[in-house]
Amino acid sequence: MRHVLMFALLAGLVVADVRAQNRQAEFNKPFPPHKVIGNVYYVGSEQLASFLITTPEGHILINSSFETTVPVIRAAVEKLGFKFTDIKILLGSHAHGDHMEGDALVKDLTKAQVMAMEQDVPALRTMKPGGKEHPIDRVLKDGDEVKLGGTTLVAHRTAGHTKGCTTWTLRVQDGGKSYNVAILGSIGVNPGYVLVNNKDYPEIADDYVRSFKVLRSMPVDVFLGAHGSFYGLSEKYAQLDKGGANPFVDPGGFKAHVDRQEKNFQAKLEEQQKAAAK
């Protein structure tokens, strides 16, 4: 009986591993790399958004994604004519594997400085693909600036989705005009998130509320995010060859996304509050 149980356990682990690999393969489907606006380029996969911020002194990469996504990102960077090894700084949106698991590999390939919001550091320390320690060269606080080659990014802690979830903002010049760019971390409430009486994250609901307020206060012209689905990547990319206005300039889309996510949060919060009161 013991051998049968052991076999069943091992078989279950194998099936789970295969499913995880299939899931990553689905997430890692390549997407055409492209200029978004100014010195901001899309270099992510079909579902996992990564952005290259280019400067004369080297480049900044936002989101390494899964470790298995790194070759996809590297190919995208090089297809645009940039050197992957010119990446000097690596940033992330939040401490989930599909956005920051590849940090160690990117650092190994580029020697980039890895920076992360302080509240996400404990979760990142547990992220060790292949046994690699998660590199963190600079711990960021809310409002900190990251500067390189004349470009300044500001780290905004928009927590809830994770304790250190980060929305990045920067100003870019394009066509003689200046634009405010926001790269949203995430304000979604994932299935299974506990918003009421969460022992591991007691302030989760308060953090969500604060984050919605912070996001609404931001001046945003160009709306980007950790997943292309947040801002309609596929649809907007399809419009690029049609001429006309840059489809990524979409302040209304940003507001609409925040509205939808806040409505979803409030509904789930009320549902959990009612359940807890019974």
Instruction: List pLDDT tens digits, range 218-260.
Output: 999 999 999 999 999 999 999 998 888 999 999 999 999 999 9
pLDDT tens, residue by residue, 184-211: 999 999 999 999 999 999 999 999 999 9
The order of strands in the sheet holding 151-157 is 145-148, 151-157, 166-174, 177-184, 222-225
Domains of the chain, each with CATH number or no CATH:
31-277 (3.60.15.10)
Residue 157 C-alpha from the chain's centroid: 13
pLDDT exceeds cutoff 50 at 32: yes
pLDDT per residue as tens digits for the range 33-70: 999 999 999 999 999 999 999 999 999 999 999 999 99
Strands 151-157 and 87-91: unpaired
* pLDDT given at position 243: 80
pLDDT for 7: 59
**Sheet hosting strand 34-37, strand order edge to edge:** 34-37, 40-42, 51-55, 58-62, 87-91, 113-117, 138-140
